[in-house]
Amino acid sequence: MSFTVAALYRFAPFDDPAALRQPLLDLCAAQGVKGTLLLACEGVNGTISGRAAGIAAVVAHIRALPGCAELDVKYSAAAAMPFRRLKVRLKREIVTMKVPGIDPARDAAPYVAPADWNALIDDPGTVLIDTRNDFEVGYGSFDGAFNPRTASFGDFPGWWREHAESFAGKRIAMFCTGGIRCEKSTAFLRSEGVADVVHLKGGILAYLEQVPESESRWHGSCFVFDARVSIGHGLVEVGEKLGEEMDAVPLSNSG
């Protein structure tokens, strides 16, 4: 039997994220779910794996948390359990940027659906920016995407401020693995005065799942933070194994 992998996040205000930790930890353990979930005052982020019923129970629990009814979840499959253990951690941010005052729930830029992405990035007036880390970009990216060559997501604000003038007057289209980094990076750009910025709804994972390979502008594979290493069109595992299992890192929280 295969395992279900769920990459999920939601920016939602949690007054007391510490109070949410133990019930979530207990439920995951009871359902045989492994992976990592991050809780912060700004919301929840994580990647987990287990049998379909167990994942469904955990996702339902998270959707019932304040502000999480519209939890973003992307499902894929793994032939074996890709994570070694379960961790539910309290963090200052669910995706680390280290820029005070950024509120993606309020300020993130408009989405572009995967079905409309090709037309957008084919437009010569669009500048395409890959917000992932440099080593991730090495596995694959979209045609013509600009790589900031960051070592961590926390490097992105400094990179942008150093190069912002070269993008003046351009439409900025941003993308990342599952969407969470773009929620925060587009909110950051808007706080820096960038008016014309959009991002790929659901990230690369949604694009690879929904856009036929024959129409795709994607080249290579998409790195994921579990033992599958990378996945391709149709969210099929294509990477070399790192061993039987590895510690879970939230799919979008590499920074």
User: Longest C-alpha distance within the chain, in Å?
Assistant: 53
Q: Tokens 């930890």 belong to which residue?
A: 25
Q: In 3D, which of 218, 223, 216 has the Cα closest to residue 139?
A: 223
Q: Model-level pTM?
A: 0.86
pLDDT tens-place string over residues 83-98: 999 999 999 999 999 9
Q: pLDDT of the chain along its 255 residues, tens only?
A: 699 999 999 999 999 999 999 999 999 999 999 999 999 999 999 999 999 999 999 999 999 999 999 999 999 899 999 999 999 999 999 999 999 999 999 999 999 999 999 999 999 999 999 999 999 999 999 999 999 999 999 999 999 999 999 999 999 999 999 999 999 999 999 999 999 999 999 999 999 999 999 999 999 999 887 778 788 888 888 865 443 333 444 444 433
Bridge-partner residues for 73, per DSSP? 8
CATH class, domain 3-94, is: alpha beta
- CA–CA separation, 134 vs 178, rounded Å? 16
Catalytic residue among 28, 68, 176, 222: 176
> For the purposes of burial, counting CB atoms within 10 Å of the CB of 10, is it exposed (0-12), middle (13-18) or buried (19 or more)?
buried
Q: For 76, how many CA atoms within 13 A lie in the half-sphere containing its CB?
A: 30
| Integer Rg of the chain from CA | 17
Domain ranges of the chain: 3-94, 104-222
CATH architecture of the domain formed by 104-222: 3-Layer(aba) Sandwich (3.40)
Interhelix angle 114-122/203-210, rounded to 10 degrees, is 100
pLDDT tens-place string over residues 19-57: 999 999 999 999 999 999 999 999 999 999 999 999 999
- CA–CA separation, 247 vs 229, rounded Å? 12
From residue 214, how far is each of 113, 208, 233 by CA, in Å?
18, 11, 10
Do 104-222 and 3-94 fall under one CATH topology? Answer: no
> For the purposes of burial, counting CB atoms within 10 Å of the CB of 26, is it exposed (0-12), middle (13-18) or buried (19 or more)?
exposed
Question: Does 176 qualify as catalytic in the annotation?
Answer: yes
- CA–CA separation, 66 vs 246, rounded Å? 31
What tokens were used for 32? 């045989």
Q: For 142, how many CA atoms within 13 A lie in the half-sphere containing its CB?
A: 31
